[in-house]
Structures are given as C-alpha cells and as structure tokens.
C-alpha cells in the first residue's frame, strides 16, 4: 500500500470500522474492516481495537478518526453515550502514540457531514445545510457555503423538557417500541425546532437509520427545508474522517 494513503476510522457504539480512502473520489479504496466496540468503551480498549483495524491493512500514513462527542483540537470534551474516561482526554495524542502515525480526531457527525457535503447529498449546495445523524444519539453538522461549523451538538437541544436525542434518536424509536409513524411525529417535532433556529435550506438525514429512509421520510410533513437521505450511508464517517486529516483546524 502506498505510504501516503489516507485512512479513516469510524468509532461507533457497536462497531469500529476502518478503511483506506480514495480522497479524490470520496470512497473507500478497499473493503472496510470492522471489529466490535469493546465494552466498556474505555480509551485504552478502544485504542487497542483501532490499532487492530489499522494493522489489518498494514497502513502507514495519516489516520483520521471519528468520536461521538465534542472534539476540540484533538481533545475529546464530552461523552454522552460513551465511557466517561474520554472526557478532557488528549485523544489525538493517544492515537498518535499508540499507532505511531499522524492522527486527527473529529466529531462523528462532523465527519459524516464533510463527506456528504463534498461527495454526497450536499454536493454543490450553497447556503445553510444541516446534516443530522440518527443513531444511538442525534449528531449534527452545520455548513454555511460548504464550510463546517464544528461541534454543534444539536442532538442536545431541549425538546419537551428533555435532551432531544432521548426522544427522537433511532435508539429512542427502538427503546420505546415506536412505529415508524409514531417516530416520524417526534422527528418532525425535532426538525421544527432546528428549522426555527437555523433555517437550513437542506437537511440531510444520515446515521444507520437512513438505510431505511423510505419507511419514514415520506411520513414527514412538508417544510421549507428540503429533507433528503444521506447518499454515502455507512461509509460517510470513514470517508469524512480521512478527509479531516488534511484540513486546517479551529
């Protein structure tokens, strides 16, 4: 494998997936390798699992990694759905040392958003674009003319007195055994809220549940923003993580 190849790793609640990425095409350069996320997902055990994924490809070169929480300059700041050991950790430093490779860490929804806006459903779209990922939580990535505003954390907006993701994530649908129609009402309520605050012209729905978009997108009400499914689906996190390795940081 070429020494300059870029690698992306998507760290999720159930799996850690990685692959070399073709940055020009915005797609995986080889089939991804997945290992189960260790439980508890402490930094040490996750780093060991990531090492296994990267070594599977004998990769040498920069590695981009997603994290399901706030990431500021490589430090993980929150851990809503993961082990509290990640709070205020120099995650980038830890990955760099363990992998002995250049590492860049960013929020998972921001990574998915970067990939969707460059190569997927948001390609060529000017103005305000919001990418929302529905999974264990709700992730958000906000773009203005293609530029990311990182760590927006819109899954934690308050909805009916609760964290919005507790009511409207894909996990909430399963937890409360909601029908697609019942869940769509909650998603609509959430979209009303974000639309009131940000007036996006395009909302891209990602996360695992976007694979089943035909079950719920047609049930959502008409709104000013166009609401479309993510185009890259499962690979968006890996592609976006790899894209982040070459980006300037704020």
Q: What is the contact surface with ligand BGC in residues (CB under 6 A)?
A: 68-70, 78, 80-81, 107-109, 133, 135, 137, 139, 153, 155, 165
Cα 26 to Cα 114, 131, 167, 243: the distances in Å are 10, 17, 33, 8
Place of tokens 């760290």: 11
Cβ–Cβ under 8 Å, residues 74 and 104: yes
Least gap, CB of 39 to ligand BGC (angstroms)? 16
Contact 191, 220 (CB under 8 A): yes
Q: How far is the CB of 61 from ligand BGC (least distance, A)?
A: 26
Smallest distance, ligand BGC to C-beta of residue 80, A: 3
Smallest separation (angstroms) from ligand BGC to the CB of 55: 25
Supply the minimum distance, in Å, between the C-beta of residue 138 and ligand BGC: 6
Residue 29 vs 154, nearer CB to ligand BGC? 154
Of the two residues 95 and 134, which places its CB atom closer to ligand BGC in the complex? 134
Of 58 and 158, which has the nearer Cβ to ligand BGC? 158
Please state the separation of Cα 166 from the chain's center in Å: 17
SS (H, E, C) 127-139: CEEEEEEECCCEE
Minimum Å gap between C-beta 250 and ligand BGC is 16
Cα(7)–Cα(185) distance, rounded to whole angstroms? Answer: 38
Identify which of residues 29 and 204 has a Cβ nearer to ligand BGC in the complex. Answer: 204
209's tokens: 């549940």
Our CB check for ligand BGC shows the closer of 120 and 240 to be: 240
- CA proximity to 71, closest of 58, 63, 62, 80: 80
Cβ-based nearer residue to ligand BGC, 18 or 69:
69
Both structure tokens of 100: 């002995």
CB-nearest residue to ligand BGC: 137
Q: Strands 138-144 and 128-134: what pairing?
A: antiparallel
Cα dihedral value 209, 210, 211, 214, nearest 10: 100
């Amino acid at each position: 494998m070429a020494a300059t190849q870029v690698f992306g790793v998507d760290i999720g609640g159930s799996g850690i997936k990685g692959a070399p990425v073709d940055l020009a095409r915005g797609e995986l350069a080889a089939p991804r390798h997945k290992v189960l996320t260790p439980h508890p997902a402490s930094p040490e055990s996750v780093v060991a699992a990531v090492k296994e994924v990267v070594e599977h490809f004998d990769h040498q070169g920069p590695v981009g990694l997603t994290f399901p929480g706030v990431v500021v300059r490589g430090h993980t700041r929150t851990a809503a759905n993961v082990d509290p050991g990640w709070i205020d950790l120099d995650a980038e430093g830890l990955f760099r040392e363990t992998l002995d490779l250049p590492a860049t860490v960013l929020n998972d929804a921001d990574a998915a958003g970067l990939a969707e806006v460059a190569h997927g459903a948001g390609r060529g779209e000017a103005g305000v674009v919001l990418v929302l990922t529905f999974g264990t939580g709700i992730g958000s990535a906000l773009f203005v003319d293609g530029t990311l505003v990182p760590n927006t954390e819109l899954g934690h907006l308050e909805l009916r007195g609760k964290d919005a993701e507790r009511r409207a994530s894909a996990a909430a649908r399963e937890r409360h055994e909601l029908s697609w129609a019942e869940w769509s009402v909650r998603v609509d309520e959430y979209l009303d809220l974000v639309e009131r605050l940000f007036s996006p012209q395009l909302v891209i729905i990602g996360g695992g549940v976007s694979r089943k978009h035909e079950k719920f997108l047609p049930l959502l009400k008409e709104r000013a923003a166009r609401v479309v499914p993510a185009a890259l689906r499962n690979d968006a996190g890996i592609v976006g993580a790899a894209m982040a390795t070459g980006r300037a940081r704020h």
